[in-house]
A and B are shown apart, each in its own frame.
Chain A
Amino acid sequence: MVRFEIVPAGDSAILVQLPERIDPDLNAWCIELQRLIASRLGGAVLDVVVGYCSVTAYFSPLATDPGWLESEVRDLADRLSDVRQEAGALIDVPVCYGGEYGPDLGEVARFCGCSDEDVIAIHGGITYRVYLVGFIPGFAYLAEVDPRIAAPRRAVPRTAVPPGSVAIAGGQTGIYPAATPGGWNIIGRTPLKPYDPARREPFLFRPGDRVRFHQISQEAFMHGGLAPMAQNLREWGQTP
């Protein structure tokens, strides 16, 4: 049984809080609860957002009684038995590691006391889970990074991280969809666009998806990392 508590987050949101840890089963439970709230109580809520180990339901308190909503959500949550993880999409991300695209690769290698090539092999050797999407449109939080290369956030964030940058902060890795300030360690860059408003499906990642990284050469990057990108574009309904 999943332990949870429901607390107010102000007067217009309720937070379903699970034990705080990065855990695929807890996260899968949250994703399922989010889906149930959206489908069964959709008329009463404005938005439902999944975190690593939480679900937040937003509502208008003049239209929806918070006590009623809490009790409905509690009912759904109580009846939600341990969720078997359903695999989301598997997305293959080509990355040109190091050099001008990965200015922090050397630092991460020094942190783990290994070579750049080792970091690349370790980073690309795991299938990550998308725990949530947030921070900016399309930014997927991927975990867990192998502790050997889990370099902490930088002390001084960059004012602008180039779009497509693949980065590590502690046990998380991610891809910056757009140029924003950022404090994660940049180890490479992908030609994929996690958020593209012109695409039929603008967002590449959803909570529950699985992600693998594989290395491509700089030359392949310059040509858009074409083969795997085309594969992903087909999956997302982009017309050629």
Chain B
Amino acid sequence: MNDLLALHGVRAGYGDGAVLEDVTLAVGAGDFVGIVGPSGSGKSTLLRVLLGSVPVTGGAVRRAPGTRVGYVPQVERIDWDFPVTVSQCVLMARTGRLAPWTSRQEKAEVREVLGRLGIGDLADRHIRALSGGQQQRVFLARALLGEPDLLLLDEPTSGVDVRTRHEILHLLGELHDGGLGIVLTTHDLNGIAAHLPRLVCLNGRVLGEGAPADVLVPEVLEATYGSPMEVLEHGGMRVVVDAPVGGAVLPFRRQGGAA
């Protein structure tokens, strides 16, 4: 077994309430896993359990000794007005060193990781003065500077345009090809989830796990989202669409007006 992280019957949540119940999941070196589910289904909590920032109240979490985990938070959670530049932000990954100044080696490492992610010329910019895709790359760079074995990303394509979504997905694909394990959460079933090698459908519990062809099916999706969905085939890809509710047309469509 070369699992980096393994959850066995995990129960976890905040305060007295449980957000996750009986979750069993293993993530190995080189895995690329997408976690999908409706809002409030526990996707971010599952990521935090893997990260170790939410304590479990039942079951067990096993982490292979020496496993380094990098984390990219949701961009909505970031304080974009905080007075830091891109390089200062990336350097936060290096808190072990006591000296407050940046060493020559650290500067070179930051330059290297920013260059690898295609934002090498933005090191001295304030983090707000970046596009959505560039902002996502800054936090990816911070996580990569810690040389992780496993990268956890919370909604990495939330709020970005189609082109940026493609760029981020390709970037993650390249990192995965380089041997990095990746777990991400997403709401985007067609733009992201359908392209990943392995998916976990979550709604408090794991309701499906496997390749998109196995889990992006109406039964699993309805169990996960509590709403009927249809799956179409288009160009060899699965495309998930909302099923008409009870065969009826939504009122604003019936009136012929735009939303």
- Do A and B come from the same complex? no
